[in-house]
Chain A
Amino acid sequence: MIPELGHLALIFALILATAQAAMPLAGSLTGHRPWMTMARPLAYGQFVFVAIAFVALVEAFLTSDFSVLYVAQNSNSLLPGIYKVSAVWGGHEGSLLLWALMMAGWGAAVAAFSRNLPLPVVARVISVMGMVAIGFLLFMLLTSNPFERLFPVPPEGRDLNPLLQDFGLAIHPPMLYMGYVGFSVAFAFAIAALIGGKLDAAWARWSRPWTTVAWVFLTIGIALGSWWAYYELGWGGWWFWDPVENASLMPWLVGTALIHSLAVTEKRAAFKSWTVLLAISAFSLSLLGTFLVRSGVLTSVHAFATDPERGLFILIFLCIVIGGSLALYAWRAPEVSEGGRFDLLSRESALLLNNLLFVAFTVLVLFGTLAPLIYEAFNLGKISVGFPWFNKMFLALAPFLALLLGIGPATRWKSDQPWRLTKLLWLAFALSIGVLVLTSMSAVSGDDLWVPIGIALAAWLLFSHLTIVRDRLKHKQQGWRQAMVADFSGNGRSFYGMVVAHLGVAMFIVGVTMVSNHQIEKDLRMSPGDSHEMAGYRFEFLGAQKVNGPNYRADQGHFLVYRGERQIAELFPEKRSYLGGGMPMTEAAIDAGFFRDVYVSLGEAVGGGDWALRLYYKPYVRWIWLGAALMALGGAIAVSDRRYRTARARSTAPAGAVGAKA
């Protein structure tokens, strides 16, 4: 009964979404106010009904209702409670429902937090979000209904994919979808602005916090996925340039370009049509990624036929969204004025270069992901595009981005003088050169040139941003600490958010550089009692024993790790066989540290109590995710900037007293 209610709720949500797409827009075009005011209630209504459907599915999982096909395929009565909930998005249908829920949630959020926006703008934005929601709800109802029943009812479910029975992966998809779907808000603002023909600084200011929030979620989502891959896959990699990863990286890259370009549009009313194009691209790439992954074309052009219904639907949807929005763009964008003048040396130029580089990265990822398909489609032979190609291509561009990143934030809007920049940054530059020289002479570098370059670029980002902060506070009367606090609680949040995010980039560079060049990996066969020395750590293998988990059996190895004579860690890597079937899984054991991880992953039992296993020493690997976390934190700080808060405070407290006090 409840699953049918869920199904019904989805249908109602679709009806509401259709009304949401049509009425407010029609109202805004004809100036019919009552229709425009329908936007908010319809957005809330759609959210409520999708939420009902979602709760119905969660309920089916919690009660292990295996009469629902999707539950039977993705759950099991032995599954621990928290994973019964995360199993809701453990498969195709449920992840779509989660997607729709977030889509509706973002729509409701826009409705709730946009009180200070002109009604026609709100109406159009919510309309566009309704149109996108129609696509996803239809997709679900026509091809991927999560509430489909199964007869006869099986006594037991097939269990959630063991890989997904992990905390990191339980929260990774929601974060990622929040980011993907969040870009639909930026998209909706852009389309609404194109429809209204009013692209201005105000538009950029409205859509900027939404875009940044989406970007923050996407950053966290991608970092979580990378972290999960690192500890769960058992071979210590953190990025594989796999098509599915690339599919999430492309919207991130364009989204990063977008949040920078929005800054220019907000501050200087320049790059307007470019910013709109980026907003369209960021969301389109989110959809494209979904299409590529869902349809199966990436495996081979021929694999598309394996599930033509779903693939075809997404393809058509993709064509409507991308084609429609680009057509609108081509029609409207030429009317948009392109802002004021700026000099060769100016913040505008720096940000334009930033955009060029990020778009270049996106082109690389898109090209590399599609190249095998292109070659196959045109009979140019089979080529292999993987890890080595992507690494080379990215390394060719990344240093330029890092160099620019140290200069860009120091430049002034509109026009800057070379001598002023030189005077400001020479010390930071000299110090980074010093770091470059020192690291290339020290043992840190090994024989690879990339290590000193990477470290020096990170140092350059650190020093230049310290300089920029100092320069900002120089003219304040108080001491620097009070000045910074005052600045932070005043108008400075977006500035400090930027600094934090950019320092995250520096940290990320250090992590990538160190772990790529200095990690140590050993494949070994060990007998109980054996020990092995690696990177100054001694690993002692005490043997393996059988243990039982709630829904798996495992072999659990027992290791002591010594540094000198001191025992620093006790590790229990596991090899699990889930009762639901499938292949055995490795559960690596990691002793995490700020400067290094030591990592043991259990391979095969090779007889006589001996085990084949893999040991890793991973210097600075945490810095990769900490760097990403700093980037996300920076974004969050920037969004809390006073100029967005006052807008919101004004909307909730009409007197404006709250905003003035803050």
Chain B
Amino acid sequence: MPPALNLYPLLKMDPLIKMSCMIKSLLLGALLLLGSGSVSAYTLEEFQFDSPEQQTEFRELIAKLRCLVCQNESLAGSQAELAQDLRNEVYRMMRAGQSQDEILDFLVERYGDFVLYDPPLKPSTYLLWFGPFVLIGIAGFVVVRTILSKKRAADEPISASEQERLQALLDNSPDSPSSSSRST
């Protein structure tokens, strides 16, 4: 374990989780209020493919899958032992001639939707996919109503005290009224 680990409550994950998968979280912890950790590169070299297309397909596939024990990482990026196992599994299935969909279906059955890095659209995720837009829609409605009501509203007269303050500001200001009204 990197020495400074215990300083960062964020990083206190389940100890069973392999350090390596936390790498990115650790790194990114540093972005906000400083975390710790380190990185080692990962390479696809360990997998041999018949064709560049197959390699591309494999890359696409593991990018769609999630490292199950990491905070925010696809299978393609993760160094966790579990992720490596899963990559090997995907590789074996591909070599056995299974299609992308078959592999994905199998993995979803085994691990649940969580294994998909991109959550699927279905009733349990409606909240996730549409929730924000409902909120935004409500906000949009309020905005439109505001604009429309503003169109009808009359200019409100300024109060006597405001008039006084305005005069004081104008007297103090070296800007001429015409030049200040043009600035943005």
Q: Which residues of A contact B (CB under 8 A)?
A: 73-74, 89-92, 95, 158-164, 169, 172-173, 176, 200, 202, 225, 228-229, 232-235, 240-245, 247-248, 263, 270, 289-290, 293-296, 298-300, 303, 306-307, 310-311, 337, 339-344, 348-349, 352-353, 355-356, 359-360, 363-364, 367-368, 371, 374-375, 380-389, 392-393, 409, 490-492, 494-495, 498, 523-525, 575, 580-586, 601-604, 606, 612-614, 641-643, 646, 650, 656, 659-660
CB distance from B141 to the nearest CB of A (A): 10
B128–A371 CB distance below 8 A: yes
Contacts of A491 in B (CB 8 A): 175, 179-180, 182-183
B95 interfacial contact with A, CB 8 Å: no
A367–B131 CB distance below 8 A: yes
CB distance from B174 to the nearest CB of A (A): 5
Given contacts A303-B13, A585-B39, contact A646 B174 (CB under 8 A): yes
A383–B128 CB distance below 8 A: yes
Q: CA–CA, A65 to B27, complex, Å? A: 27
Q: Among B3, B34, B148, which residue has its beta carbon within 8 angstroms of that of A580?
A: B3
- B23-59 with Cβ < 8 A to chain A: 23-45
Given contacts A163-B30, A240-B24, contact A303 B12 (CB under 8 A): yes
A584–B24 CB distance below 8 A: no
Contacts of B114 in A (CB 8 A): 381-384
CB distance from A249 to the nearest CB of B (A): 10
Q: Which of B83-91, B97-105, B116-124 contacts the other chain? A: B116-124
Q: CA–CA, A494 to B11, complex, Å? A: 43
Contacts of B66 in A (CB 8 A): 384, 386
Contacts of A374 in B (CB 8 A): 127
Contacts of B3 in A (CB 8 A): 73, 158-159, 580-582
B31–A248 CB distance below 8 A: yes
Given contacts A163-B38, A244-B28, A646-B175, contact A310 B9 (CB under 8 A): yes
B93 interfacial contact with A, CB 8 Å: no
CB distance from B163 to the nearest CB of A (A): 12
Q: CA–CA, A522 to B148, complex, Å? A: 55
Contacts of A234 in B (CB 8 A): 39, 41
Q: Among B44, B113, B146, B175, which residue has its beta carbon within 8 angstroms of that of A384?
A: B113
B155–A352 CB distance below 8 A: no
A-B contact pairs, 14 of them (CB 8 A): A163-B39, A234-B39, A244-B32, A303-B10, A340-B155, A344-B151, A349-B147, A381-B112, A381-B114, A386-B72, A582-B37, A584-B40, A586-B41, A614-B41
Contacts of A89 in B (CB 8 A): 34
Q: Among B19, B29, B119, B148, which residue has its beta carbon within 8 angstroms of that of A383?
A: B119
Top 3 A-B residue pairs of the complex, sorted by shortest distance between their CB atoms: A603-B41, A388-B118, A612-B43
B110 interfacial contact with A, CB 8 Å: no
B153 interfacial contact with A, CB 8 Å: yes
B119–A643 CB distance below 8 A: no
Q: CA–CA, A349 to B150, complex, Å? A: 10
Contacts of B72 in A (CB 8 A): 240-243, 386-387
Given contacts A163-B37, A352-B147, contact A311 B9 (CB under 8 A): yes
B165 interfacial contact with A, CB 8 Å: yes
Q: Which residues of B contact A (CB under 8 A)?
A: 2-4, 7-13, 19-20, 23-45, 66, 71-74, 77, 112-119, 124-125, 127-128, 131-132, 135-136, 139-140, 143, 146-148, 150-156, 162, 165, 169, 172-175, 179-180, 182-184
B28–A240 CB distance below 8 A: yes
Contacts of B115 in A (CB 8 A): 384
B132–A364 CB distance below 8 A: yes
A270 closest partner in B (C-beta) = B150
B26 closest partner in A (C-beta) = A163
Contacts of B153 in A (CB 8 A): 340-341
Q: CA–CA, A389 to B116, complex, Å? A: 11
Contacts of B71 in A (CB 8 A): 242-243, 298-299
Which residue, of A306, A311, A602, A613, has the highest number of chain B Cβ atoms within 10 A?
A306
A306–B136 CB distance below 8 A: no
Given contacts A163-B37, A293-B29, A583-B2, contact A92 B112 (CB under 8 A): no
A490 closest partner in B (C-beta) = B179
Q: CA–CA, A485 to B135, complex, Å? A: 45
A347 closest partner in B (C-beta) = B184
B117–A386 CB distance below 8 A: yes
Given contacts A172-B31, A582-B3, contact A409 B45 (CB under 8 A): no
Q: Among A95, A235, A341, which residue has its beta carbon within 8 angstroms of that of B41?
A: A235
Q: CA–CA, A386 to B31, complex, Å? A: 17
A200–B165 CB distance below 8 A: yes
A91 closest partner in B (C-beta) = B7
B45–A173 CB distance below 8 A: no
CB distance from B176 to the nearest CB of A (A): 10
Given contacts A295-B9, A581-B2, A583-B2, contact A173 B128 (CB under 8 A): no
B27–A233 CB distance below 8 A: yes
Which residue, of A161, A382, A389, A604, has the highest number of chain B Cβ atoms within 10 A?
A161
B117–A387 CB distance below 8 A: yes
Contacts of B30 in A (CB 8 A): 161, 163-164, 169
Q: CA–CA, A583 to B39, complex, Å? A: 7
Contacts of A524 in B (CB 8 A): 43, 45
Which residue, of B117, B148, B152, has the highest number of chain A Cβ atoms within 10 A?
B117
Given contacts A164-B30, A176-B32, contact A344 B38 (CB under 8 A): no
Contacts of A381 in B (CB 8 A): 112-114, 124
Q: CA–CA, A310 to B31, complex, Å? A: 20
Q: CA–CA, A263 to B34, complex, Å? A: 34
Q: Among B24, B33, B118, B162, which residue has its beta carbon within 8 angstroms of that of A242?
A: B24
For the A-B complex with A360-B136, A586-B40 known, give 16 more contacts whose Cβ atoms are closer than 8 Å: A89-B34, A163-B27, A240-B28, A294-B33, A298-B10, A299-B12, A299-B71, A342-B150, A344-B147, A380-B124, A409-B184, A495-B184, A575-B40, A582-B38, A585-B39, A586-B39
Contacts of B44 in A (CB 8 A): 523
Contacts of A74 in B (CB 8 A): 4, 7
Q: CA–CA, A95 to B146, complex, Å? A: 42
Contacts of B41 in A (CB 8 A): 234-235, 575, 586, 601-604, 612-614
CB distance from B166 to the nearest CB of A (A): 9
Which residue, of B12, B29, B139, B146, has the highest number of chain A Cβ atoms within 10 A?
B146
A641–B27 CB distance below 8 A: no
Given contacts A306-B9, A389-B119, A604-B40, contact A356 B143 (CB under 8 A): yes
Contacts of B154 in A (CB 8 A): 341
Q: CA–CA, A602 to B182, complex, Å? A: 56
CB distance from A539 to the nearest CB of B (A): 15
CB distance from A257 to the nearest CB of B (A): 12
Q: CA–CA, A228 to B34, complex, Å? A: 13
A247–B9 CB distance below 8 A: no
Q: CA–CA, A625 to B180, complex, Å? A: 33
Contacts of A240 in B (CB 8 A): 24, 28, 72
CB distance from B151 to the nearest CB of A (A): 6
CB distance from B117 to the nearest CB of A (A): 6
Contacts of B40 in A (CB 8 A): 575, 583-586, 603-604
Contacts of A245 in B (CB 8 A): 28, 31-32
B174 closest partner in A (C-beta) = A660
A161–B183 CB distance below 8 A: no
A163 closest partner in B (C-beta) = B30
Contacts of A364 in B (CB 8 A): 132
B174–A233 CB distance below 8 A: no
CB distance from B61 to the nearest CB of A (A): 14
Given contacts A176-B32, A240-B24, A340-B155, contact A235 B180 (CB under 8 A): no
Contacts of B151 in A (CB 8 A): 341-344
B143–A352 CB distance below 8 A: yes
